[in-house]
Structure 1
Amino acid sequence: MFVTRSVSDLVADSEGEGEKLRRSIGPVALTALGVGAIIGTGIFVVIGEGAKLAGPSLFIAFIIAAVTCAFSALSYAELASSVPVSGSAYTFSYATLGELVAFIIGWDLILEYGVSVAAVAVGWGGNVNEFLKATFGFVLPDAISKSPSEGGVFNIPAVFIVLLISVLLTLGTRESARLNAIMVVIKILILLFFIVVAFTSFHSGNFEPFAPEGFGGIASAAGVIFFAYIGFDAVTTASEESKNPSRDLPIAIIGSLVISTVLYVLVAVAAVGVAPVDTLSGSDAPLAAALNEGAGIPWAGGLLAAGALIAITSVVLVIMYGQTRIFFAMCRDGLLPRRLAKVHPRYGTPARLTLGFGVLIAILAALVPLDEIVKLVNIGTLFAFVLVNVGVIVLRRTRPDMPRPFRVPGVPVIPIIGILLCGYLIAQLPWETWLRFVVWLVIGLIIYFGYSIRHSRVRLGEKADAPSVEKA
């Protein structure tokens, strides 16, 4: 159960003639993938939640959350440059901690990514109504814009965006990455617009009292805000489709985190400067409310609603992309049915599983109540962060001579700090999160011992020499 796959075999699989993805993404597009995954609903919504806890010192909470992420980001950068294979934390765990641990984290990430896409798609539907209301003065009926638990029948906007992104991801990774890059540029420009306008109506008095709840309030806000940074790990799911992964992946991982942090801090300072904290914490659209009340620009609501739509669209694209690549890697390794890992001969993408996931997630987004799921913290992501940090330490000891284009400084101290920080946040999670994690884990273990352990390629000694591209 704890057999590992050698790094050389993993890389050979990705470069063989079988289930092979097309290398078509450069460093700019990879960085855009990271920024696209990070900057989404978080900055448009979570800033209000953080303001309730930290007050005017909100921007410090953003910095603390970024530092917490940075430790794990460094570990991701080392493993991604050393093991440039599709699958992210799943593949890294397979190479370091063994098959069972790899299956557990891959299985959990499939759930976490799927629930995230469904939840974000529901948020996209809600922002469609905000945009229509601010721009055209009308909204879609609840029956076709909300789930049954919210008084609707079928959430058509959520289904639309999920199926649209599924088709785009099927048609090609390079094309999807280009579209994501365009959306990232647009939403960054909208955030820069907010920053510039807010600073023209800046009121320094809004920063008093600076930290009404002391450091405890700032730390609590950082715990909430941390999840606005989750997404940089999605870059590593593109390892196998990167043109030069050893060089480009560390640049993209660290670069996307730095870009997002700078924007987050500037937006936090500008938001508090243009409007009182009560305005931010009392609104479902805090940035629009800040410009409306503080700068007297009511039409900014429509612009920021459009920015939120674009931001959320790119998040759906990147997170769904990451989910399909993790599932692809597990199928190719034989832990899940191999036939699902077929690569389309024309598009060079895993078309079957991409469209299959699209349909399942669309159903989830349309019908299933997601209010409680959205409130739960992403235990799978934090668990993945822990395993990646552990993986760096293990590989440094077991494979000291392995080429490492990027090296985490101060090993094992830096990874251990990353583990402790993630462990602290995991310990704060509500019992519902743990229950969901355990139930999903039990289902996964049944599949592992009933199917995966008998079909695992590493156990069968099978090499990636069988043609696995669908016939046109």
Structure 2
Amino acid sequence: MEDQRTPETPRSTTPASPSRPATAGLTSRLARRKPVEELTGETGQLRRSLGLTQLTMISIGATLGTGIFVVLGEAVPKAGPAVVLSFVLAGLTALFSALSYAELAGMIPASGSSYSYTYATLGELVAWVCGWCLILEYGVSVAAVAVGWGQYLNELLHLTVGVTIPEAFSQPPGEGGLVNIPAVVVVLLAMFLLLGGARESARANAVMVVIKIATLLVFCAVAFTAVRDGNFTPFMPLGMAGVSAAGATLFFSYIGFDAASTAGEEARDARRDLPRAIVLSLFVVTVLYCLVALAAVGAMPWTSFADAEAVLSQVLTQATGAGVLWSVLLSVGALVAISSVVLAVMYGQTRILFSMSRDGLVPRVFSRVDERTGTPRKNVVIVSLAVAVLSAAIPLGSLADATSIGTLFAFGLVNVAVLVLRRNRPELPRGFRVPLSPVTPLLGAGFCVYMMASLGAETWLVFLGWMAAGLAFYFAYGMRKSRLNASTPDADAAE
């Protein structure tokens, strides 16, 4: 297999001392940046085969489904009918960051998404932290989504044949089970699709996206017939604090709109299509989320959402009096919807690790590309097995909140990166420009901080533990192996 590494760029023309790295010290090593020109010019034999429609479908596929099919049941008890406002709050947070993503994706069409953007602007240590957050965002969110897939599978089995998978094999430890087998199954199905190549995966994802949009529209049509005015009063029973808490949880449902940016090296016209795909996908998702949430809380009292699983199916069954057929169709649609999220988000995770590996910050196995399919096959298998284990053993709530805080941190860095590049590299061509800069990026970063502050202490402890583990790995491995490390012979010899 041909070596996929990017040629290294010397940092100085002055010969390095044999007894120390060429960099002046630890601080300069942590702050070293990867030139934008290098990011936009490098390739790793990934094939450019995706157009605007496919890129938009990747982002919709990675976003639409999880929050509205699964996490809605956890958010409504926190905010009551005002959960609709929580979706708007989470959507605004995502919008400001989406605009920043759109500008950077058009400038730096690399597979690493916000990891690559921060590497070019804020330095290697911050880029590593961002990449580590993206691993939390993508890898852990896939596991959380897979847990929700099992809930709807049980609902479908109950409606059609009157049986369910025993809790021991459909719930993780801590929720009455031993192992979540359905979650493992959907992850492995996505793995086999990804192994076939980006174009084939994008086609399968596009079909699933069409099915889940149709499913949500059918739900709205049926649920709106059962809306009762009394279900909206009191509208904000837990106050603005409840709206904020639910919004922080529901931000999980917007994770994935940036998935198109991970396809930067597989897009046919990345500078033009990536910004459009990101903004368009977020618009479609936000409109659908608000419609479905409004229909759901209008059709069923908000107090009935507590501890609800497969919540949309229950709305149709318990509140509307709709026949079993509608609930069966909704459960099938939910299974397809969540499957597409698993597929698209796992795709993004593998491409981020591909970029980090090419830079030397994680092992080189993640950037080895199969010559026949043009995909990083070993990367896909490793990620899939790790996610399968995670989804089989950890409850949904813990996964969702931990994912949200890591994502918010990464999004905040993207907003900062826009401001840095506007100041340091104003001459670079931009296919899209964030309107009202610097106000918009500052608002984006501010909203991210606000939403992070709304999350609980347990979530913060998990996040800080994750960050500590990531920094330990970076200082033990990534800093020494980095392709920007001026002590080239030493770094390569260790590999």
Relative to the length of structure 1, the TM-score reads 0.91
Q: Contact 1:122 / 1:365 at 8 angstroms: preserved in 2?
A: yes
Q: What one-letter code is carried by the residue in structure 2 that aligns with 1:203?
A: R
Aligned-residue offset at 1:43:
0.6
Q: What one-letter code is carried by the residue in structure 2 that aligns with 1:76?
A: Y
Q: What one-letter code is carried by the residue in structure 2 that aligns with 1:245?
A: A
Where in structure 2 are the equivalents of 1:31-42 lying within 5 Å? 31-42=56-67
* 2:124 matches 1:99: yes
Q: What one-letter code is carried by the residue in structure 1 that aligns with 2:290?
A: V
Where in structure 2 are the equivalents of 1:118-267 lying within 5 Å? 118-267=143-292
Q: In 2 relative to 1, CA 205–155 (structure 1 residues): closer, same or farther, beyond 3 Å?
A: closer
SS in 2 for 1:452: helix
Query: Alignment partner for residue 325 of structure 1, among 320, 344, 351?
Result: 351
Q: In 2 relative to 1, CA 434–58 (structure 1 residues): closer, same or farther, beyond 3 Å?
A: closer
Aligned-residue offset at 1:324:
0.8
* 2:36 matches 1:7: yes
Aligned-residue offset at 1:452:
2.3
Aligned-residue offset at 1:30:
1.2
Q: In 2 relative to 1, CA 275–367 (structure 1 residues): closer, same or farther, beyond 3 Å?
A: closer
Partner of 2:425: 399
| CA–CA separation in structure 1 for the residues paired with 2:320 and 2:452 | 39
* 2:313 matches 1:284: no
- Of 395-404 and 27-36, deviating more is 27-36
Q: What one-letter code is carried by the residue in structure 2 that aligns with 1:199?
A: F
Aligned-residue offset at 1:67:
1.4
| CA–CA separation in structure 2 for the residues paired with 1:193 and 1:359 | 35
Partner of 1:45: 70
| CA–CA separation in structure 1 for the residues paired with 2:223 and 2:467 | 46
Partner of 1:465: none
Aligned-residue offset at 1:354:
0.8
Note the alpha carbon deviations across 1:403-437, whole angstroms, 9 max, x for none.
01100011111111111111112223333333333
Q: What one-letter code is carried by the residue in structure 2 that aligns with 1:283?
A: A
Partner of 1:421: 447
Note the alpha carbon deviations across 1:339-361, whole angstroms, 9 max, x for none.
43111111111011111111222
Aligned-residue offset at 1:280:
4.0
Structure 1 alignment gaps of length 5 or more: 463-472
Q: What one-letter code is carried by the residue in structure 2 that aligns with 1:35?
A: I
Q: What one-letter code is carried by the residue in structure 1 that aligns with 2:32?
A: V
Partner of 1:359: 385
Partner of 1:468: none
Partner of 2:457: 431
* 2:53 matches 1:28: yes
Query: Alignment partner for residue 477 of structure 2, among 442, 451, 465?
Result: 451
- Of 2-11 and 433-442, deviating more is 433-442
Structure 2 alignment gaps of length 5 or more: 1-29, 489-495
- Of 231-240 and 386-395, deviating more is 231-240
Note the alpha carbon deviations across 1:137-162, whole angstroms, 9 max, x for none.
11123343333444444432222211
Q: In 2 relative to 1, CA 359–50 (structure 1 residues): closer, same or farther, beyond 3 Å?
A: closer
Q: In 2 relative to 1, CA 248–124 (structure 1 residues): closer, same or farther, beyond 3 Å?
A: same
Q: In 2 relative to 1, CA 46–123 (structure 1 residues): closer, same or farther, beyond 3 Å?
A: closer
Q: Contact 2:152 / 2:331 at 8 angstroms: preserved in 1?
A: yes
SS in 2 for 1:458: coil
Aligned-residue offset at 1:184:
0.9
* 2:301 matches 1:272: no
Q: Contact 2:248 / 2:455 at 8 angstroms: preserved in 1?
A: no
Segments of 4+ moved more than 6 angstroms: none
| CA–CA separation in structure 2 for the residues paired with 1:249 and 1:157 | 33
Q: Contact 1:376 / 1:430 at 8 angstroms: preserved in 2?
A: no
Aligned-residue offset at 1:391:
0.2
SS in 1 for 2:90: helix
Q: Contact 1:279 / 1:289 at 8 angstroms: preserved in 2?
A: no
Q: In 2 relative to 1, CA 283–298 (structure 1 residues): closer, same or farther, beyond 3 Å?
A: farther
Aligned-residue offset at 1:217:
4.1
| CA–CA separation in structure 2 for the residues paired with 1:392 and 1:411 | 9
Q: In 2 relative to 1, CA 369–43 (structure 1 residues): closer, same or farther, beyond 3 Å?
A: closer
Q: In 2 relative to 1, CA 84–301 (structure 1 residues): closer, same or farther, beyond 3 Å?
A: same
| CA–CA separation in structure 2 for the residues paired with 1:216 and 1:231 | 26
SS in 2 for 1:5: coil
| CA–CA separation in structure 2 for the residues paired with 1:430 and 1:373 | 13
Cα root mean square deviation, aligned: 2.2
Q: What one-letter code is carried by the residue in structure 2 that aligns with 1:306?
A: V
Q: What one-letter code is carried by the residue in structure 2 that aligns with 1:254?
A: V
| CA–CA separation in structure 2 for the residues paired with 1:187 and 1:127 | 14
| CA–CA separation in structure 2 for the residues paired with 1:460 and 1:259 | 46
Where in structure 2 are the equivalents of 1:295-306 lying within 5 Å? 295-299=320-324, 300-306=326-332
Relative to the length of structure 2, the TM-score reads 0.87
Partner of 2:15: none
Note the alpha carbon deviations across 1:207-246, whole angstroms, 9 max, x for none.
3444444545444433332222121122211111111111
Q: What one-letter code is carried by the residue in structure 2 that aligns with 1:409?
A: P
Q: In 2 relative to 1, CA 366–47 (structure 1 residues): closer, same or farther, beyond 3 Å?
A: closer
Partner of 2:97: 72
Count, aligned residues: 458
Q: What one-letter code is carried by the residue in structure 1 that aligns with 2:40?
A: V
Q: In 2 relative to 1, CA 277–366 (structure 1 residues): closer, same or farther, beyond 3 Å?
A: closer
Partner of 2:80: 55
- Of 234-243 and 214-223, deviating more is 214-223
Q: Contact 2:136 / 2:403 at 8 angstroms: preserved in 1?
A: no
SS in 1 for 2:278: helix
| CA–CA separation in structure 2 for the residues paired with 1:98 and 1:156 | 41
| CA–CA separation in structure 1 for the residues paired with 2:246 and 2:470 | 34
State the percentage of identical aligned residues: 52
SS in 2 for 1:240: coil
Q: What one-letter code is carried by the residue in structure 1 that aligns with 2:475?
A: F
- Of 63-72 and 293-302, deviating more is 293-302
Where in structure 2 are the equivalents of 1:327-346 lying within 5 Å? 327-346=353-372
